[in-house]
Each structure stands twice: as structure tokens, then as C-alpha cells.
């Protein structure tokens, strides 16, 4: 009765997509000025900051809906790799104030999205 892989995949998809979506919505309402500045500091054209909407809005919606789920999860993986490389690289081996890994949130998004790529959407998805 408690063994339901498809329900488990749905829960993982909703958790990953839902929590990441909050980050995208925040950037939608507050802008990407901070990301533009950071990219400019690395010599990357600031217009690439708008790519965050792909990884934090489009990808999560695809994962939540179960539409092209693996592609949506791949967008999240790419988004997180860029975020870790550009904004959190100095914290890669650091501990947070409470003793956990400083990048546990970023790690959650990255590795859960990787798991979704390998697991697939399960039965509860949009037909594509």
C-alpha cells in the first residue's frame, strides 16, 4: 500500500519545482539587477541575467506539470551549476552557521533535479 513509485516521483517533482519556482517569482517581481551586476563583474554581458527566468520559472513549471520533465530538470541543473560557479564558488567546501553544508539549498536543487532527470516524471504528468 505504501509502495507507490509514481506518487513518490510526483512528490519529488512538486517539491523541486515548487521551491525553485519561488526563486523565479521573486526575481520576476524584484528584477535581476543583482545578477546583472555580478555577471558584469565577471565580464559576462548582463543580458544573460534574464536566463535565470528559464532556470527558475520555465524549468520548474515543466517539472511541476510533468511536461518534458527531463528537459525542465536539465534547465534547473544548468541554472544551479551557473549559480554555484558564479555566486557560491567560495562556499563549496564551507559549513554554514548551523553546521550544515553552506550550499545545502543549492545542492538540494542540483541533485534533486539530477534525480528527476534519471527517474523521469512517473505516471502523474501531462501527456506530451
Q: What is the dihedral of CA 87, 90, 91, 95, to 10 degrees?
A: -160
Report DSSP state, residue 41.
Answer: H
pLDDT tens per residue across span 18-71: 999 999 999 999 999 999 999 999 999 999 999 999 999 999 999 999 999 999
* pTM for the model: 0.94
Q: In the chain, what are the domain boundaries?
A: 5-119
Cell numbers given for 55: 532556470
Amino acid at each position: 500500500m505504501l509502495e507507490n513509485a509514481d506518487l513518490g516521483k510526483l512528490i519529488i517533482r512538486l517539491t523541486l519545482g515548487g521551491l525553485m519556482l519561488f526563486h523565479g517569482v521573486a526575481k520576476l517581481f524584484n528584477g535581476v539587477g543583482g545578477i546583472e551586476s555580478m555577471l558584469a563583474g565577471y565580464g559576462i554581458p548582463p543580458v544573460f541575467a534574464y536566463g535565470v527566468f528559464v532556470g527558475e520559472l520555465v524549468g520548474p513549471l515543466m517539472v511541476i506539470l510533468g511536461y518534458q520533465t527531463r528537459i525542465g530538470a536539465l534547465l534547473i541543473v544548468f541554472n544551479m551549476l551557473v549559480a554555484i560557479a558564479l555566486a557560491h564558488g567560495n562556499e563549496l567546501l564551507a559549513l554554514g552557521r548551523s553546521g550544515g553544508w553552506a550550499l545545502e539549498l543549492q545542492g538540494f536543487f542540483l541533485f534533486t533535479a539530477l534525480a528527476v532527470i534519471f527517474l523521469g516524471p512517473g505516471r502523474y504528468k501531462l501527456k506530451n
